[in-house]
Amino acid sequence: MTSRPTTFVARLCASALLLALVAGCASGTHAHGAAAATAPPATTTAAAATTAAPASPVQDTTERITVAWAGGQATGDTGKVAVPLGATVEIVVTSDKADELHLHGYDLSARVPAGGTATLRFAATIAGVFELELHGADRELLRLQVG
């Protein structure tokens, strides 16, 4: 009888640590948007200051999300807005005050001028739920659900 030594091949499986660090903003209090009342379609004819980030479209579907911020209230596509994974998303925000948009997770931001419009255009390649905020007003406009 020969005792055969067993060799352990220690395999270092790099555990896929998904860095889903949806880091919150500096502000700890994220006030939720006003009661999501079905708002009338915002007719905005502001000069479009488009700050679109060029994103490679994965599909040719474009999900257009429109939010208007006026008088401290968000109207339009507020609350939780679902888009399919891989879609091209275009978030158009108008505001009566100059502010800064921030989409968490994707970490996209854009300045919206007073009485103007900002557009975030990107490929929704990260699944999850992400807050879109107005940093100046410290308000959540919507939560984007991808996938």
**What residues make contact with Cu ion under the rule CB under 5 A?**
25, 102, 133
CB of 25 to Cu ion, least distance (A): 4
Q: How far is the CB of 100 from Cu ion (least distance, A)?
A: 9
Least distance between Cu ion and beta carbon 26 (Å): 8
Closer residue to Cu ion, CB minimum distance, 102 or 121: 102
Q: Is 22 helix (H, G, I), strand (E, B) or coil?
A: coil
> Who contacts 54 (Cβ-Cβ below 8 Å, separation ≥6)?
none
Using CB positions, name the residue nearest to Cu ion.
102
Q: Which is nearer to Cu ion, 79 or 84 (CB)?
A: 79
**Nearest alpha-carbon partner for 114 in 133, 95, 135:** 95
Q: Is 101 helix (H, G, I), strand (E, B) or coil?
A: strand
What is the DSSP secondary structure assignment for residue 4, as one 8-state letter? Answer: P
Closer to Cu ion by CB, 63 or 131: give it: 131
The distance of closest approach from Cβ of residue 99 to Cu ion in the complex, given in angstroms and rounded to an integer, is 11
CB 77 within 8 A of CB 71: no
Nearer to Cu ion, 58 or 98 (CB): 98
Q: Which two tokens stand for residue 56?
A: 């490679």
